[in-house]
Amino acid sequence: MDRRDFLRSLALTGAAAVAACRDPPRALPPGDLLGPSFASAHRLPAQGFPPPSETRRVALAIVGGGVGGLAAGWRLARAGFADFLIVELEDTPGGNSRAGRNEISAYPWGAHYLPLPTSEAGAVRELLAELGVLHGDPHAVQPTYDENYLCATPQERLYRHGRWQEGLLPIAADAHERAEYQRFAELIDGYRHRRDRRGRRAFALPMEKSSRDADLIALDRLSMRDWLHSRGFVSPQLHWYVNHACCDDYGTGSAAVSAWAGIHYFACRDGQASNASSDIVLTAPQGNAWLVDGMLRSIGQRVGERLLTGALAFRVAGGETPGKEPLIVDLWLASEQRTLRLLAGQVIWAAPVFLLAHVLAGRAALRAAARRYTYAPWLVANLSLARFPDDRLGAARSWDNVLYAGQGLGYVDATHQRMRLAPGRTVLTYYRSFAELTPEQGRLLLREASREFWAEQILSELELPHANLRQVVTRLDVYRHGHAMCRPLPGLIWGGERARFAADGARLRFAHADVSGFSLFEEAHYRGVLAAERSLRSLGVASASLLD
């Protein structure tokens, strides 16, 4: 099937097919089709950049201004170290935690919540304390959190069989299915409380602090769906629930996700608070962008401006042998149509790992390991509404709203934290993974399909629970993430390729969530802080670790 036939077949499936069989749709609301800098990034394989017109020296260059790169900068600034530069391809930093804003509300373009951090995520707790969201001792067993960031209840609901239910696990059909639910919960609870001989949790967050027991590591060799079957779980609804969780966190279904990663989703999140239950998350209208903004403020307050945006790193060379010659980082500044060369004593690579296959000079083993990674595409849409649409029967309006048979993963309500008594204008953030397609097919669809194509599909889907949705939507913007997150396929998390990036280097280190094998804020933050602390030690800067 060629590209045109593939796109045509997709246009006639799912919600689009429903739309084609009814009366002509109303005019679509206005909006934009947005995304990262496809043109610049796609130049990497071909290269062909001009020689540098300027050379700058810096002690430490950080490539990538997502959560990992910003966490590294935040940690360096906290230690009083100023001689670093963060370079970012996009015009704004933040990676998957970017956000937008209109006259109604701020809203996320990616990650939209942070679970209550566990005791292992000490650096995240330190950040929250610095931002005034965690009160008191950040290492207390049950810290107190700012009520404004604790997700207001009701938190989750599921649309199924024409009505809403509380929670995302479908209501069991019979006693046999209830027994399966209970058995699954008991298995997960056992993993959650399990400790090895060194006291490490079976599944910790960050994952680097997890147990290395052989039977746990073996879970990385099979898929989550196969693990469910091996344990005798046959309930279609339980399988749907687990598959939804895998798609939600990893952009990939349970048939492809490593069982270790799938169980980690359920077993690692047990952070505690003195004023909230462990299942409550921290959120804000702009999603996780408030955490990005906090790190940027901290960096700026301590050391001044240390960020260069609109800069594509297309070559990293040197530093393979002992010596004092600088590493070379060549940057393409698209707005200025020129190349800038950085001569850096040390480099932290905080951009996605797969780019290293095109960027890294020499280091054949690292480039080969980078090719082992595959990435899930992702689509996010923000729907601005004149008022909240009419609801079907069942559970009350919630922050997170999921459709059982939907093509997407549901939507979150940007204004849910306001706790208004009467509904007013709001923004709904809709998410869709492409787990039913290959990553290449998903990226092709994202690249070729129009905003109108996506708007019609999204509106047709969300009309199921909200019949008058089209009447209240005033704007619909779409953001495309071609390589949203690395896919934790069997063998990646505890395989040798990932271990190459997790190891400390002499002068080149890695600080992206990819180094953990999956994309979570806590993982990116941990990797950034760890790389920064290793660099500080290498540079002879004394600073107590935040990770002990």
Residue 22 pLDDT level (bands cut at 50, 70, 90): very low
Once rounded to an integer, what is the mean pLDDT over residues 463-491? Answer: 96
Once rounded to an integer, what is the mean pLDDT over residues 391-400? Answer: 94
Report how far residue 67's alpha carbon sits from residue 523's, in angstroms, rounded to the nearest whole number.
Answer: 9
What's the pLDDT tens digit per position in 98-141?
A: 999 999 999 999 999 999 999 999 999 999 999 999 999 999 99
Report how far residue 459's alpha carbon sits from residue 336's, in angstroms, rounded to the nearest whole number.
Answer: 40
Residue 448 lies in a domain: yes
Choosing from 230, 250, 279, the residue where a domain stops is 279
What's the pLDDT tens digit per position in 292-319?
A: 999 999 998 666 679 999 999 999 999 8
Percent of the chain exceeding pLDDT 90 equals 88
Q: Are 60 and 347 in contact (CB under 8 A)?
A: yes
Q: Enter the tokens of residue 503.
A: 């190891």
Residue 14 pLDDT level (bands cut at 50, 70, 90): very low
Residues 10 and 77 grouped into a single domain: no
What's the pLDDT tens digit per position in 421-449?
A: 446 899 999 999 999 999 999 999 999 99
3-state secondary structure of 526: helix
Residues 365 and 393 grouped into a single domain: no
Report how far residue 347's alpha carbon sits from residue 328's, in angstroms, rounded to the nearest whole number.
Answer: 9
Residue 451 lies in a domain: yes
Residue 305 lies in a domain: yes
Q: Are 501 and 510 in contact (CB under 8 A)?
A: yes
Residues 274 and 162 grouped into a single domain: yes
Residues 338 and 263 grouped into a single domain: no
What's the pLDDT tens digit per position in 183-219?
A: 999 999 999 999 999 999 999 999 999 999 999 999 9
For position 320, what pLDDT does the model report? 76
Residue closest to 483 by CA, chosen among 458, 449, 446, 454: 446
Once rounded to an integer, what is the mean pLDDT over residues 207-234? Answer: 98
Once rounded to an integer, what is the mean pLDDT over residues 2-30? Answer: 55
- Structural domain of 500: 52-99+286-371+490-538
List all residues 6 or more positions away from 331 whose beta carbon is below 8 Å from its beta carbon: 87, 308, 311, 312, 313, 314, 339, 340, 341, 342
Residues 333 and 314 grouped into a single domain: yes
Residues 472 and 379 grouped into a single domain: yes
For position 15, what pLDDT does the model report? 41
Residue 139 lies in a domain: no
CATH code, domain carrying 456 = 3.90.660
Report how far residue 517's alpha carbon sits from residue 219's, in angstroms, rounded to the nearest whole number.
Answer: 14
The answer on pLDDT for 16 being more than 50 is: no
Residue 545 lies in a domain: no
Residue 298 lies in a domain: yes
The answer on pLDDT for 47 being more than 90 is: no
For position 39, what pLDDT does the model report? 66
Residue 329 lies in a domain: yes
Torsion, Cα 190 191 192 198, to 10 degrees, reads 110
Residue 369 pLDDT level (bands cut at 50, 70, 90): very high
Q: Are 228 and 242 in contact (CB under 8 A)?
A: yes
Residues 480 and 497 grouped into a single domain: no
What's the pLDDT tens digit per position in 491-535?
A: 999 999 999 999 999 899 999 999 999 999 999 999 999 999 999
Domain tally, the chain: 3
Q: Enter the tokens of residue 305.
A: 């401006």
DSSP H/E element including 242: helix 236-250
Q: Across all residues in the chain, what is the average pLDDT?
A: 92
Residue closest to 111 by CA, chosen among 319, 325, 412, 336: 412
49 against 322, higher pLDDT: 49
For position 45, what pLDDT does the model report? 75
For position 41, what pLDDT does the model report? 65
The answer on pLDDT for 19 being more than 70 is: no
For position 470, what pLDDT does the model report? 96
CATH code, domain carrying 503 = 3.50.50.60
Place of tokens 């849910």: 416
DSSP alpha helix (H) spans, 348-424: 356-359, 364-370
Residues 198 and 271 grouped into a single domain: yes
Residues 360 and 394 grouped into a single domain: no
Q: Enter the tokens of residue 193.
A: 């409380």
Q: Are 361 and 317 in contact (CB under 8 A)?
A: yes
Choosing from 469, 486, 503, the residue where a domain stops is 486
DSSP string, 85-112: EEE-SSSS--GGG-EEE-SS-EEESS--
**b vs e for 497-532, b when ≥16 Cβ sit within 10 Å of the residue's Cβ?**
bbebbeeebebbbbbbbbbbbbbbbbbbbbbbbbbb
For position 322, what pLDDT does the model report? 67
Residue 287, sorted as left (phi over 0), alpha (psi -120 to 50) or beta, turns out to be left
Residues 216 and 202 grouped into a single domain: yes
The answer on pLDDT for 148 being more than 50 is: yes
The answer on pLDDT for 17 being more than 50 is: no
Choosing from 279, 308, 324, the residue where a domain stops is 279
The answer on pLDDT for 256 being more than 80 is: yes
Torsion, Cα 242 517 40 435, to 10 degrees, reads -20
Residue 324 lies in a domain: yes
For position 43, what pLDDT does the model report? 76
Residues 328 and 424 grouped into a single domain: no
Residues 348 and 494 grouped into a single domain: yes
What's the pLDDT tens digit per position in 397-412?
A: 999 999 998 899 999 9
